[in-house]
Structure 1
Amino acid sequence: MVDFEVVRVFCGPDGRYGNPLGVVRDGSSVPSREGRQRVAADLGFSETVFVDDALRGVIDIYTPTLRLPFAGHPCVGAAWLLDVPELVTPAGTVACRRDGDVAWIAARSAWAPARILRAYTSAAEIDALSVPPPGEWIYAWAWSDEAAGVVRARAFPGRNDGIEEDEATGAAALLLTADLGRSLDVRQGRGSRIVTHLAGDGMIEVGGTVRR
């Protein structure tokens, strides 16, 4: 098994929860896409990042079953871990900034993989949801406090790859922000937190607390 480390991305206000991210700092130890896909499947995280150039921030992202040109929680985690001004992904160059345990990225919603944004009428409805059958990638959400921009959300990838529910998904929060046209404070999963800001020129900032 290759060397890797784990960070938790989008931790809650109390420092708990967050979505675990596998990071292979020495991407050259797994040079092929096929090999990286096998490693990502073996590790079993919702995403695993391979760092191909730590100084330039060049990264490669995989779920257990597929390669992603861009994803939110891997980029935020890599931005915090590498502490670089930008990340280079197949989708585009992602601007980054870090303030202690909080990391931010700026990206375009067009870079995010497609998700079904399914609105519900209350946070209680979101809490009561069961995991749906595989098939559709569903981001279920409802307002907790619409005036304040606070959202309750849960994510169901529907890929039949062992990840029934994603604890915190930055790309889905980015898509929801673009769809609603406003900055959001998303409380997802068991206790994770994702914050988004409209940054102008079509860019959206996504940020959160990262812990080892």
Structure 2
Amino acid sequence: MTDYDVLRVFCGPRGGYGNELGVVREGSVLPEREERQAFAAKLGFSETVFVDDPERGVIDIYTPGVRLPFAGYPCVGAAWLLDVPELVTPAGVVGARQDGEFCWIEARAEWAPPRTLKQYPTAAEVDALPVPPPGEWIYAWAWEDESAGRIRARGFPGRGDGIDEDEATGAAAILLTEQLGRALNITQGAGSQLLTAPQPGGWVELGGRVYLER
């Protein structure tokens, strides 16, 4: 069995929740895309990262079904684990920094995979949503406190690959931040926390807490 770490990314203030991420630190043990895709499917996490160069931060990201040029929570988790100033992804170079209990990355919204951002009138309506049938990737959200930038969100990948709901979705948070043009404090899923802030030149910062599960 290939060795891998399991992180929880975008944990809540008390360390709970977060989205589980698989990280294969020695990507060379599975060099082919087909091998990596099969291993990501076997692990069954929303995303799995393969590290191809830990010093330069070169990574490769897979869902159980597809390879992604960029994804938010895998980049935050990998940046925390590798403790590097940047990550190299197929989409581009992702800036990274540690700030106390938070790990931050800086990326561009156009790197994010397509998401349907669907606003609801209240957080209670978002909480009550059933899992939709497979189809488009839906990021359902509502203001909890608009003046404070606090948002309630849930993510439904719609892929039919066994991931009915995504506990914390960094790429969608980046897209929503670009759309709204302001810093956000997002509670997603059962209680994960994502922080964002728009930056000059079309960049968006995305931050959260990361813990090593095993």
Q: Same fold (TM over 0.5)?
A: yes
Cα distance between partner residues in 2 of 1:147 and 1:28: 48
- Displaced runs of 4 or more, over 4 A: none
Task: Please give the secondary structure, in 2, of the residue aligned with 1:182.
Answer: coil
Q: Percent identity?
A: 68
Range with bigger deviation, 95-104 or 82-91: 95-104
Cα distance between partner residues in 2 of 1:182 and 1:116: 19
- CA drift at 1:114: 0.4
Partner in structure 2 of residue 186 of structure 1? 186
Work out whether 1:44 is the aligned partner of 2:44. Answer: yes
TM normalised by structure 2 equals: 0.98
Partner in structure 1 of residue 127 of structure 2? 127
Task: Please give the secondary structure, in 2, of the residue aligned with 1:201.
Answer: helix
Work out whether 1:160 is the aligned partner of 2:160. Answer: yes
- CA drift at 1:100: 4.1
Cα distance between partner residues in 2 of 1:101 and 1:62: 26
1:132–1:156 CA contact under 8 A, matched in 2:
yes
Residue identity opposite 2:82 in structure 1? L
5+ long unaligned stretches in structure 1? none
Partner in structure 2 of residue 63 of structure 1? 63
Work out whether 1:31 is the aligned partner of 2:31. Answer: yes
Partner in structure 1 of residue 75 of structure 2? 75
- CA drift at 1:24: 0.0
Partner in structure 1 of residue 89 of structure 2? 89
C-alpha distance after superposition, 1:156-203 (max 9, x if no partner): 000000000000000000000001111100000000000001121111
Cα RMSD (Å):
0.6
1:80–1:101 CA contact under 8 A, matched in 2:
no
- CA drift at 1:101: 3.5
Work out whether 1:143 is the aligned partner of 2:143. Answer: yes
C-alpha distance after superposition, 1:124-157 (max 9, x if no partner): 0000000000011000000000000000000000
Cα distance between partner residues in 1 of 2:36 and 2:150: 37
TM normalised by structure 1 equals: 0.99
Work out whether 1:118 is the aligned partner of 2:115. Answer: no
Partner in structure 1 of residue 201 of structure 2? 201
Cα distance between partner residues in 2 of 1:99 and 1:198: 17
Residue identity opposite 2:171 in structure 1? A
Count of residues in correspondence between the two structures: 212
Residue identity opposite 2:62 in structure 1? Y
5+ long unaligned stretches in structure 2? none
1:9–1:76 CA contact under 8 A, matched in 2:
yes
1:101–1:211 CA contact under 8 A, matched in 2:
no
C-alpha distance after superposition, 1:93-132 (max 9, x if no partner): 0000013431100000000000000000000000000000
